[in-house]
Structure 1
Amino acid sequence: MSALTLSNVTKTFGTTEVITGVDLDVEPGEFCVFVGPSGCGKSTLLRMIAGLEDVTSGDVKIDDRRVNDVAPAKREIAMVFQSYALYPHLTVRDNMGLALKQAGTSRADITAATDKASAMLGLDPLIDRRPSELSGGQRQRVAIGRAIVRRPKLFLFDEPLSNLDAALRVATRIEIARLHRELGATMIYVTHDQVEAMTLADKIVVLRAGRVEQVGPPMELYNDPANTFVAGFIGSPQMNFLKSGPLGLSSAQMGIRPEHLEISTEAGQIAGKISHVEKLGGETLVYVLTEDHGLLTVRLFGEHDYQVDAPVWLTPDAARAFHFDEHGQRLRPGESSAAGRATP
């Protein structure tokens, strides 16, 4: 039995279809991330699961129960939003326990639930403070605690880290991953940040313009992308795309990850000159401007010294190259361009 099933789900606003025929199964205990660029429909899809948006057609099932016409409060879900949505006059404890209080839960059970959530999230020293006395990261932990105490069948996260600075994003991301392991809960998480998707997900759903482009584990999408969109979206820095095949595949577009481009000052297959160098300590990113393929990125591990405007040569690792047909669909060994066009 799947924890969540979407069957040919669509959503239209007027004459505009924003979600198109989405099919998806999320297994119990799975951490599933919806990822894609702004406007791809990921938050709309999450809101349809929550019941905050109506489903135009298709079915949404939670634990095999069709919930299309079930009110959000009765779907046994808890949602954590980008905005913390905490009551400013309530303490941390009261914010976390409010939903239980409104449901008529006993004081003893509310205290037990909030104490457990507070301990899991490291909120014990803050339990009697109000939101105005908390940092952004602390407020987000309270919002997550409020979801935990409800013991929902599904946790829904809508870009919960967007308001945090870089360091807090990493720390909170680690906390969410730890909570998932400890709770064993089913979580659906929306983000535009592919790094969040890669580091948190058991399963990633890549969306573009309301359609699912590919579904799979993070490293499967990284190592076996179905098309140029997935190949370019998953991975940081993003994949390089070469306009023609320097390895003899002239009829197709070639993709190569930055770490699979060799750089040399002496010889190689693609001539260029260095446009910019980013020294990040543990790695160095070298941006090379080429005549035929535009700007290409080379990822080198460790510290390297390259000078801007210096001439260099690049050579792709043929064994790590990806090939795509004229429609952007993946061509695998033995497939022709025509076969690629037939790829779903």
Structure 2
Amino acid sequence: MDALTLTDVTKKFGRTQVIDGIDLSVAPGEFCVFVGPSGCGKSTLLRMIAGLEDVSSGQIAIGGRRVNELPPARREIAMVFQSYALYPHLSVRDNMGLALRQAGTPKAEVLTATDRAADMLSLTALLDRRPADLSGGQRQRVAIGRAIVRRPRLFLFDEPLSNLDAALRVATRIEIARLHRELGATMIYVTHDQVEAMTLAHKIVVLRAGRVEQVGAPMDLYNDPDNRFVAGFIGSPAMNFLDAGALGLRSDSLGVRPEHLAISAQEGTIPGRVSHLERLGGETLSYVQTEAHGLLTVRQFGEHDHAVDGPVWVTPDLTRAFHFNAEGSRLRT
């Protein structure tokens, strides 16, 4: 039995359709990430699963049970928001245990569940503090702990790391991945950050304009995208798109990842000039302006030096390239 099943799910706001016939199954214990650009419908879809938005048509089932008509409190879900949503007048302990207390759970069980979650999240020393006395990362851990104590069928995360700085984002991402392994729970996670999607997910659902573009494991999407949109969205730095005709090839567009472009000052396939250089220590990114293909990104591992505004040649590894037609569909051989 799947933990979550969506069958031809649609959502309209007035005459505007924002979710268009989505079918999806999520297995028990799976970490599934909804990813896509702003306005693609990923947060709306999560809110429909949670019961915070009505379904215009189709069916949502959690654990094999249709939940379309059920309120959020009866769906056996727990949601972690971007905004933390903590009660400022309650301690960490009381924030984490509030839902259980409201459900009439015996006090001893609430304390046991709260202490267990606090231990998992390294919050034991903070249990008597108020949210105002915590850092942003600590507040987010409290919000996650509040979800853990409920032992839901589904954990729903709505861009939970957006308010954190870069270092905390990485640390909290690692924490969420560890928790998933320890809990073995089913998690649905929404983000616009494809790095979060690639590093957390068992399964990624790539959305655009309310439709599913592709579903698959992170490296399957990276190595075998179905279309130009997925190819360009998954991967950082983004894929380069070259004019195949200018290279004497039959397809309309050629996609080449930055690490599959070679750069040389002496010889190559595509002439250009270095417009910018990013030395990142472990890798070097060269941005090369070309006449036929626009701006290309070349990724080299290690430290390299190319003169800004200097002439260079770029050569794509055609054995690692992706071919697309004018509509953006993948051409497979």
TM range (shorter): over 0.9
- SS of 1:281 mapped into structure 2: coil
Structure 1 distance, partners of 2:235, 2:54, is: 33
Matched, 1:28 2:20: no
Q: Which runs of 5+ in 1 are unaligned?
A: 334-344
- Match of 1:230, SS state, is helix
Residue identity opposite 1:45 in structure 2: L
Give 1:148-167 correspondences, 5 Å limit. Answer: 148-167=148-167
Cα shift readout 1:227-267 (whole Å, capped 9, x = no counterpart) = 00000000000000002245531442100000000101111
Aligned to 2:195: 195
1:6 and 1:22 in contact (8 A); partners too: yes
User: Which range is displaced more, 248-257 or 89-98?
Assistant: 248-257
Q: Hey, what's the Cα distance between the residues in 2 that align with 1:318 and 1:245?
A: 14
Q: How far 1:226 sits from its partner (Å)?
A: 0.5
| Structure 2: segments with no counterpart, 5+ residues | none
Q: Deviations over 1:165-203 (max 9, x none)?
A: 000000000000000000000000000000000000000
Deviation at 1:318, TM superposition (A): 1.2
Residue 342 of structure 1 corresponds to: none
Q: Percent identity?
A: 77
C-alpha separation in 1, matches of 2:291 and 2:250: 17
Is the CA contact (8 Å cut-off) linking 1:246 and 1:269 kept in structure 2? no
- Pairing of 1:296-307 with structure 2 (within 5 A): 296-307=296-307
Deviations 1:261-288 (A, max 9, x none): 0101111110100000000000000000
Q: Is the 8 A contact 2:32 2:189 kept in 1?
A: yes
One-letter code of the match for 1:260? H
Counterpart of 1:286 in structure 2: which amino acid?
Answer: S
SS in 2 for 1:177: helix
Once residues 126 and 251 of structure 1 are traced to their aligned partners in structure 2, the CA distance between those partners, rounded to angstroms, is 59
Does residue 213 of the first structure (1) align with residue 221 of the second (2)?
A: no
Instruction: State how far apart, in whole Å, the 1-side matches of 2:213 and 2:246 are.
Output: 28
Q: Which residue of 2 aligns with 1:133?
A: 133
Letter in 2 for 1:111: L
Residue matched to 1:294: 294
Q: Mapping of 1:251-290 within 5 angstroms?
A: 251-290=251-290
Greater than 4 Å deviation, 4+ residue runs: none
Counterpart contact for 1:239–1:258, Cα < 8 Å: yes
TM-score by length of structure 1 reads 0.96
Report the alpha carbon displacement of residue 45 of structure 1 after superposing the two structures with TM: 0.1
Residue aligned with 2:313, SS = strand
Counterparts of residues 146-185 of structure 1 (less than 5 Å): 146-185=146-185
- Mapping of residues 13-92 of structure 1, within 5 Å: 13-92=13-92
Cα deviation code 1:103-161 (max 9, x no counterpart): 00001000000000000000011010000000000000000000000000000000000
- Number of equivalenced pairs: 333
